[in-house]
Amino acid sequence: MDKYKVRNNVRKLRFNHDEITQEQLAEKVGVTRQTIIAIEGGKYAPSLELAFKIALVFGVPLQEVFSYELEGDEK
């Protein structure tokens, strides 16, 4: 069976939203900065609720922040 992975554009979206810091994003969604670091690094796949909260902060649909892709399939 093919292995899929949750990928994200959080770093890019932060950059496009006035370079909002990891600390500020963490505060807005109610998690620690370490969790944002883990999400950005692709080490931690957030819960659906947290994923929606992050998308809300950037004002974009969920699929613009997170995608589910084949592992090793770099864009």
Partner 1 sequence: MTYQEKSIAVSLVSHLLIVVYYLVNLFQMQQAGGLVSAKVFSLWAIVIVSTIIVNIIGNILTNILLSIVHAIKTRSEHVEKFIEDERDKLIGLKGSKVSYIAFSIGVLIAMLSFAFGQPPLVMFSLLILSSILGEIIGDISQLYLYQKGF
Question: Given the rule CB under 8 A, which residues bind partner 1?
Answer: 30-32, 34-35, 37-38, 41, 43-44, 46-47, 50
The least distance separating partner 1 from the CB of residue 37, rounded to whole angstroms, comes to 7
Helix axes 22-29, 33-40, angle to 10 degrees: 110
- Compare residues 20 and 37 and give the one whose CB is closer to partner 1: 37
* Pick 18 or 47: Cβ nearer partner 1: 47
Distance in Å, CB of 45 to partner 1, minimum = 8
Angle, CA of 20, 43 and 35, to the nearest 5°: 45
| Amino acid at the residue 11 | R
Q: How far is the CB of 73 from partner 1 (least distance, A)?
A: 21
Q: Which two tokens stand for residue 55?
A: 């998308």
The DSSP secondary-structure symbol of 42 reads T
